[in-house]
Amino acid sequence: MDEKVRRGRSRRAPGMDEKRHAPHRRGRRVLPVVFALAVLAAAAASCFFFRALNAGPEIPRESSVSVEPETMQAESEAAREEAVTPEMKIQEMTLEEKVLQLFMITPEALTGVSEVYVASDTTREAVHNRPVGGIVYFEQNLKDEEQTKDMLTKTRSYFRERLGIDPLLGVDEEGGQVARISGRAEFALESFPDMAEIGASEQPERAGEIGSRIGVCLSELGFNLDFAPVADVLTNPENTVVARRSFGSDPAQVSEFVNAYAEGLRSQGITAVLKHFPGHGGTAGDSHDGYAQTDRSLEQMREAEFVPFREGIESGIQVIMAGHISAPSVTEDELPASLSYKMITEILREELGFDGVIITDAMNMGAITEKYSSSEAAVKAIEAGCDMILMPENFEEAYQGVLDSVRQGRLTEERINQSVMRILEIKDF
């Protein structure tokens, strides 16, 4: 019996101890919780106090939704503009990349493929190796609207991927006699009369309408540059090269039509190119085939041939094409204008005040290839003051020639930088 009592006590004792000490244990648990809650309450009150002190008047919810995204977008756009400028971009480029910006070539010259109408991995690799300043397309490259859009979109993306800069994507679409797209069944752009007929109408607004309609089509396809309008004044009645392509023989009328056409292109985001300085309208020969000369004096050209170019410069034209016309009465030699320092720098740059991009006419024309190698022609054009070399007969030779001329000191890198800056200023980043 004593044993049972002892066992009973031994079993009850722990229970009795728990009941006796339970209030003290609950007290120990509650106190820390109360203390923590007090600290949190104090912190919340402090936070609210300082927010109220610093926040100022409350902004309505509608205001925060409508204002902040616009502000953020504006700040983002400003940041992008500040982050990428031509000056900053040129600092990132190697000498080779800068020299390549001076060339505008066909997709065939870029890729080595006989006929290009898609932008495949071959084009992508070619762009990676030779990121030139631009590509000019011809009828064989342009099969239909969807194919053209796809090719140009991909090509642009390859250049963006390589340099972060859009290429110049150009075409000869004057309307009338020279047309790569208009009037073709595969494209929606209708055909147009010759510009001589448009000029004879004495309605410059017609030229503006044509420029705008061409601009809409080119922009939708993915182009950003058109080698048009023709700014030549027809001073030689026997001229057959630009007779149908010129707006006429009256300098003031030609100027009015040229500016209207160029503004039509510009209104659709297409860069216009005035051509062919100093004016092809006074020649009898065709520079496509060989030597072409004008006997006009400097004073005569100032009164006629130069007028549309002068007016175009004053209206803000960004690109002028230098023709391969020789003007010995002006330059005192037989150099084509595109290779003449007198014609390009002293007259077009200094006298007429043009500081935009000067691109040569196609350098595979007879007027160039009959007398000069691709290398020498490219170097002489840059020495004359041109910025871009269009379609050299041998692109690789021309590129290497310019590069070697810089390395050997014939051309300075500063001279290359001047041209690259002008080119970058008309491009999208």
What does the pLDDT look like over 230-279, one tens digit per residue? 999 999 988 988 999 999 999 999 999 999 999 999 999 999 999 999 99
Instruction: Provide the whole-model pTM.
Output: 0.81
Share of the chain above pLDDT 90, in %: 76
Q: Which two tokens stand for residue 2?
A: 């004593």
Question: For 391, phi and psi rounded to 5 degrees?
Answer: 50, 60
Q: pLDDT at position 119, please?
A: 98
Place 84 in a pLDDT band, splitting at 50, 70 and 90: confident
Q: What is the mean pLDDT of residues 3-10?
A: 36
| Whether pLDDT at 28 is above 90 | no
Share of the chain above pLDDT 70, in %: 79
Pick from 208, 101, 209, 127: nearest CA to 426: 101
Q: How far apart are CA 133 and CA 109, in angstroms?
A: 13
Tell me which of 19-33, 129-143, 217-231 is least confident.
Answer: 19-33
Q: What is the mean pLDDT of residues 54-83?
A: 44
Q: pLDDT at position 118, please?
A: 98
Average pLDDT, the chain: 85
| Whether pLDDT at 308 is above 80 | yes
pLDDT digits (tens, 9 = 90+) for 293-307: 999 999 999 999 999
Place 285 in a pLDDT band, splitting at 50, 70 and 90: low
| Whether pLDDT at 428 is above 80 | yes
Query: Catalytic residues, which ones?
Result: 288, 361
Q: pLDDT at position 132, please?
A: 98
Greater model confidence, 366 or 71: 366
Greater model confidence, 47 or 153: 153
